[in-house]
Amino acid sequence: AKYCWVDKDTCISCGACGATAPDIYDYDDEGLAEVVFDGDANQGVTEIPEGLFDDLQDATDGCPTDSIKIADSPFRIAVEK
Ligand code: F3S
């Protein structure tokens, strides 16, 4: 399984991730990227399906500030969505 979130402290709103993987990333009011897949709200607790792994990897590789974090387990204690 793969989980993902964006570190907004280092995101520079370059826009590459949303262009590469629009199903996973969108932008908040300040233009900073966040994971929106299946209502994740950038918590890193929503399992990204295998069909999106290529997009996920491409976006991570393409982020100029390494702000996209990926792991095999959830990043946070699962919260009510
Ligand atoms: Fe930000 Fe990186 Fe996306 S800088 S907009 S997280 S590609």
The string of pLDDT tens digits covering residues 19-48 is 999 999 999 999 999 999 999 999 999 999
Which tens digit of pLDDT belongs to each residue from 43-80?
999 999 999 999 999 999 999 999 999 999 999 865 55
Helix or strand holding residue 3 (H, E): strand 3-6
Which amino acid appears at position 77 of this protein?
I
Gap from CA of 59 to ligand 1 centroid (Å): 8
Q: How far apart are CA 68 and CA 11, in angstroms?
A: 8
ipTM computed for the complex: 0.98
- Render 25-73 in DSSP notation, one character per residue: EEE-TTS-EEE-GGG-TT-S-SPBPGGGHHHHHHHHHH-TT--EEEESS
| Whether the CB of 70 sits within 6 Å of ligand 1 | no
Q: Residue 76: what pLDDT? A: 81
Nearest CA owner, ligand 1 atom 3? 17
